[in-house]
């Protein structure tokens, strides 16, 4: 089918339309083949009534045509049919037309050649097959011309029967109707093809719109989740400002008082100093814990106040691991694989804080899992991939329960026991990554592992290097 529609300038549309046409032509070709298989033998009813002496011979020809049409149907189911479906579509029309011309030629007596009533069968073949098989303009024209030429060739053998005058009168009449049928077939197919193209274009555009809408809905859902998360963190920031103001003053008083009390303890009796020092140490640790929490909350209050730079990932990991020297030594195996000179554009202190939080979570998780056939392991991997600087922290601990995966970055959400954590660690990690234009994701399998992946955009000069 020849088309100048702008849609055909789109390679994706052309590919989709070609595949659709192929499927349609294979399907309609099978239907047309079956019609020939069934209808050709049924024509023997007319043979019985009009051409009684030759009825058996004509029946043989009709059955042979049906057998060949059945072979055409089979070819449509093979790889050959998929490659040559256009040629098969034309053959479906020419095959019964050829056998009808054969019958016209074999007719004996006054009903032979141009006087045979079977020229009408050629009209029916053109109309029936063209309605079922989706021909284009040139295919329609070729079939019409080919059938008319076959009819003219057959009639040429009988031009003296019964007389030249009567022969030419009948031939002109029959050719007139065959030509009209041909014009109807060519014109009708052309109009029908335009309608089919318009229908397919509409369906194609609707399908594209549906897919685009589905993609937009997915993106909207992701944006909504990010917005909710950002709103939670923003709310926490506003709340943190008030909390820090209320806590800092009494916290400073407590620190000053502890310093004074420790100096006063030197005046106590020696047997009392040990217990006194232990109590002060416990109090100081509690104050330090409160100070750490306040420091974490301050990050939500002033998220953009610190400078950024190209930070070496290896240095960040090394600094974070130093905090856990005693906990990891001889207890947890730490494997590192950092790309050479890999950097991240971020604030170095915050990045160390971020990795420290992830390592702390891994260590805490590994402590809760009994190990038999394997050793507690933390794997740290850094790489540059697809324009991103990626850092992942993976442990072979108990993992995260599926019900908790969507909540782990929420402020104050924690699965630890009371007193072991406030649930700010991962929410702070989320904030730090977000500030640097990156994203954090988690991959976990309960009972086997948990892996946090940090993905930051690579700056142009780093990507070039």
Strand order in the sheet with 449-457: 333-338, 377-385, 388-395, 449-457, 439-445
Q: Residue 464: its pLDDT value, please? A: 45
pLDDT of residue 378: 92
Q: Which residues of the chain have pLDDT under 50?
A: 1-4, 304-305, 418-423, 463-465
Round to whole Å and give the CA distance between 2 and 240: 70
- Distance separating alpha carbons of residues 430 and 439, to the nearest angstrom: 8
Beta bridge partners of 451: 394, 443
pTM given for the model: 0.43
Task: Round to whole Å and give the CA distance between 29 and 37.
Answer: 12
Considering only CA atoms, which of 191, 121, 186, 190 is closest in space to residue 150? 121
Q: What is the pLDDT at residue 163?
A: 67
Q: How far is CA 202 from CA 3, 27, 38, in A?
A: 16, 22, 36
Phi, psi dihedrals of residue 116, rounded to the nearest 5°: -70, 140
Q: What are the distances in angstroms from CA 416 to CA 25, 365, 385, 442?
A: 65, 10, 34, 18
Phi-psi region of 214 (alpha: psi -120 to 50; beta: other; left: phi over 0): alpha
Does residue 339 contact residue 388 with C-beta atoms inside 8 Å? no
DSSP string covering 125-137, please? HHHHHHHHS---H
Residue 116 is classified by DSSP as -
Cβ(455)–Cβ(313) below 8 Å = no
Q: 217-254: per-residue pLDDT in tens?
A: 877 776 666 666 556 655 666 666 666 767 777 877 77
pLDDT recorded at residue 452: 92
CA-to-CA distance for 360 and 429, rounded, in angstroms? 12
The reported pLDDT for the residue numbered 226 is 60
As beta bridge partners, residue 345 has 310
Q: Residue 150 has what pLDDT?
A: 87
> What Cα–Cα distance (Å) separates residue 246 from each residue in 250, 253, 255, 294?
8, 12, 15, 10
363: left (phi over 0), alpha (psi -120 to 50) or beta: alpha
Distance of alpha carbon 36 from alpha carbon 30, whole angstroms: 10
Predicted pLDDT at 390: 92
Q: How far apart are CA 15 and CA 182, in angstroms?
A: 31
Q: How many CB atoms lie within 10 A of CB 181?
A: 21
């Amino acid at each position: 089918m020849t088309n100048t529609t702008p849609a055909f300038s789109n390679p994706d549309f052309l590919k989709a339309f070609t595949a659709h046409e192929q499927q349609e032509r294979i399907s309609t070709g099978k239907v047309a083949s079956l019609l020939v298989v069934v209808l050709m033998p049924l024509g023997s009813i007319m043979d019985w009534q009009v051409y009684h002496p030759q009825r058996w011979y004509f029946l043989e020809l009709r059955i042979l045509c049906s057998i060949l049409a059945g072979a055409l149907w089979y070819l449509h189911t093979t790889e050959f049919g998929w490659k040559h479906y256009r040629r098969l579509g034309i053959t479906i029309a020419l095959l019964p037309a050829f056998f009808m011309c054969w019958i016209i030629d074999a007719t004996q007596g006054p009903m032979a050649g141009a006087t045979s009533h079977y020229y009408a069968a050629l009209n029916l073949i053109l109309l029936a097959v063209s309605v079922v098989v989706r021909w284009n303009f040139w295919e329609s024209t070729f079939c019409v011309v080919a059938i008319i030429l076959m009819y003219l060739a057959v009639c040429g053998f009988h031009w003296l029967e019964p007389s030249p005058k009567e022969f030419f009168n009948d031939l002109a009449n029959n050719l007139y109707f065959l030509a009209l049928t041909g014009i109807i077939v060519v014109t009708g197919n052309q109009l029908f093809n335009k309608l089919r193209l318009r229908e397919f274009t509409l369906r194609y555009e609707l399908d594209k719109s549906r897919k685009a809408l589905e993609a937009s809905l997915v993106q909207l859902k992701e944006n909504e989740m990010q917005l909710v998360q950002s709103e939670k963190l923003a709310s926490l920031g506003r709340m943190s400002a008030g909390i820090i103001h209320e806590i800092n003053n009494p916290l400073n008083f407590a620190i000053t008082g502890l310093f004074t009390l420790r100096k006063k303890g030197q005046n106590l009796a020696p047997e009392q100093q040990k217990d006194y020092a232990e109590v002060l140490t416990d109090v100081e640790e509690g104050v330090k814990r409160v100070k750490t929490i306040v420091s974490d909350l301050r990050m939500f209050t002033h998220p953009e106040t610190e400078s950024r730079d190209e930070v070496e990932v290896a240095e960040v990991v090394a600094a974070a691991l130093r905090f856990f020297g005693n906990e990891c030594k001889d207890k947890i195996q730490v494997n590192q694989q950092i790309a050479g000179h890999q950097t991240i554009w971020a604030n170095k202190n915050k990045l160390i804080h971020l990795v420290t939080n992830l390592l702390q979570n891994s260590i805490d998780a590994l402590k809760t899992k009994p190990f038999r056939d394997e050793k507690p392991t933390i794997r740290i991997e850094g790489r540059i991939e697809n324009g991103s600087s990626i850092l992942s922290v993976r442990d072979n601990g108990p993992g995260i329960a599926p019900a908790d995966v969507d909540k782990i970055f929420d402020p104050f959400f924690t699965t630890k026991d009371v007193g072991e954590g406030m649930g700010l660690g991962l929410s702070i990690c989320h904030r730090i990554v977000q500030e640097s234009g990156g994203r954090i994701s988690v991959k976990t399998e309960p009972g086997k592992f948990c892996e946090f992946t940090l993905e930051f955009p690579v700056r142009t000069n780093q990507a070039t290097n």
